């Protein structure tokens, strides 16, 4: 029995049916539902809404594989799973372009005052000089995390004439004519735009913190389309107050459950929403129709089912 615990493209359903595989499609499953069913599962398809922890895996006596839609395995105890000979795969290639395009949209929106000026016209204000923009051609982008998404964003920005400095603690040898391997020091000293493309773990938690923002030399725009806890929200707000950064575009938040925000988190969100140089979107960067298809297809190929 295969358990599909997240919305998937119909290609996955069709392929499982075509191959005569026994599966149950429960896209709104929560932890308890999966826990109740997992002892009978040979494979599970998951997104981010359920933590596959040690307790869950101890119950998974027949499980052979875990297929993660998208990128980031931080909600899966992969080491313990692999110790039980459970194969763990993901499909970061599937939504990397979607995330990169969204990050570009956020960047262009901020530097050209698109949301701000559009809102002003709705108020019958025609303000040209006040909304004079900045071109990204010739500017420097610092990419922190050079995996699938970071590399795709670098590719798009370099095609638009930006100079790319890319840092990845665990990857080297990727420098090209258009992409320069860089240190964090290179990025904080030279970047006009800093974009985070990191998994969330103990190393990367609050990577964007007060010391980081204080070290920035060129008042860059900050973009985060990776995980909310990569950026410490209080430090980001302080950096905006201190004009250490020019603006911020966030597709992710430290707490994305808006009905469960603490009083301080509510206050932070209200303040961020009130700023003309801040743009927030609801974790939709990788959420396209094309990405849904590609992520499902890539998982099927890695499972050698497609």
pLDDT tens-place string over residues 237-290: 999 999 999 999 999 999 999 999 999 999 999 999 999 999 999 999 999 999
Domains 2-90 and 94-280 share a fold: yes
Work out whether the CA dihedral 158, 189, 237, 115 comes out positive or negative.
Answer: negative
pLDDT at 9: 96
pLDDT at 276: 96
172 half-sphere exposure, CB direction, 13 A CA radius = 2
Q: CA dihedral in degrees (254, 259, 265, 269; nearest 10)?
A: 90
DSSP result, 16-53: HHHTT--EEE-TT--HHHHHHHGGG-SEEEE-SSS-B-
Tell me which residue of 72, 74, 32, 79 sits closest to 56, measured CA to CA.
32
User: Which residues are known catalytic residues?
Assistant: 227, 256, 283
Identify the three-state secondary structure at position 3.
Answer: strand
pLDDT at 49: 86
Pick the CATH number of 94-280 from 3.40.50.2000, 3.40.50.720, 3.40.50.10610, 1.10.10.10: 3.40.50.720
CATH architecture of 2-90: 3-Layer(aba) Sandwich (3.40)
Distance (Å, whole) CA 138 – CA 251: 25
pLDDT at 72: 85
Distance (Å, whole) CA 151 – CA 143: 8
User: How large is the average pLDDT for residues 86-108?
Assistant: 97
Question: Residue 306 above 80 pLDDT?
Answer: no
pLDDT at 71: 87
Per cent of the chain over pLDDT 70 is 100
Tell me which residue of 44, 78, 79, 49 sits closest to 63, measured CA to CA.
44
Token pair 């262009």 is at which residue? 108
User: How large is the average pLDDT for residues 60-78?
Assistant: 94
DSSP result, 95-116: HHHHHHHHHHHHHHHHHTTHHH
Residue 169's CB is within 10 A of a number of other CB atoms, namely 12
Instruction: Give the domain ranges of the chain.
Output: 2-90, 94-280
Which tokens belong to 210?
């007060």
pLDDT at 48: 85
Cα-to-chain-centroid distance, residue 271: 23
Residue 156's CB is within 10 A of a number of other CB atoms, namely 17
The helix or strand, by DSSP H or E, that contains position 269, with its residue range, turns out to be: helix 263-273
């Amino acid at each position: 029995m295969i358990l599909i615990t997240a919305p998937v493209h119909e290609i996955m359903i069709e392929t499982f049916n075509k191959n005569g595989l026994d599966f149950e499609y429960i896209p709104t499953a929560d932890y308890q539902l999966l826990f109740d069913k997992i002892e009978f599962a040979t494979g599970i398809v998951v997104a981010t809404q359920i933590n596959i922890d040690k307790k869950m895996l101890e119950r998974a006596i027949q499980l052979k594989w875990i297929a993660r839609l998208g990128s980031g395995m931080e909600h899966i105890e992969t080491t313990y799973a692999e110790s039980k000979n459970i194969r763990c795969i993901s499909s970061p290639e599937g939504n990397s372009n979607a995330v990169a395009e969204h990050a570009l949209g956020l960047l262009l929106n901020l530097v050209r005052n698109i949301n701000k000026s559009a809102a002003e016209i709705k108020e019958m204000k025609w303000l040209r000089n006040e909304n004079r923009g900045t071109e990204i051609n010739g500017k420097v982008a610092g990419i922190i995390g050079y995996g699938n998404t970071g590399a795709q964003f670098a590719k798009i920005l370099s095609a638009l004439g930006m100079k790319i400095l890319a840092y990845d603690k665990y990857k080297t040898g990727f420098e090209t004519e258009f992409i320069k391997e860089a240190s964090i020091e290179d990025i904080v000293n030279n970047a006009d735009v800093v974009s985070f493309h990191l998994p969330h773990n103990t190393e990367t938690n609050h990577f964007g913190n007060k010391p980081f923002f204080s070290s920035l030399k060129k008042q860059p725009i900050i973009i985060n389309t990776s995980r909310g806890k990569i950026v410490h929200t209080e430090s980001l707000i302080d950096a905006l107050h201190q004009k250490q950064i020019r603006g911020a575009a966030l597709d992710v938040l430290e707490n994305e459950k808006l009905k469960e925000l603490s009083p301080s988190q509510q206050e932070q969100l209200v303040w961020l929403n009130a700023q003309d140089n801040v743009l927030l979107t609801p974790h939709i960067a990788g959420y396209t129709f094309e990405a849904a298809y590609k992520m499902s297809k890539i998982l099927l190929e890695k499972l050698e089912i497609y």
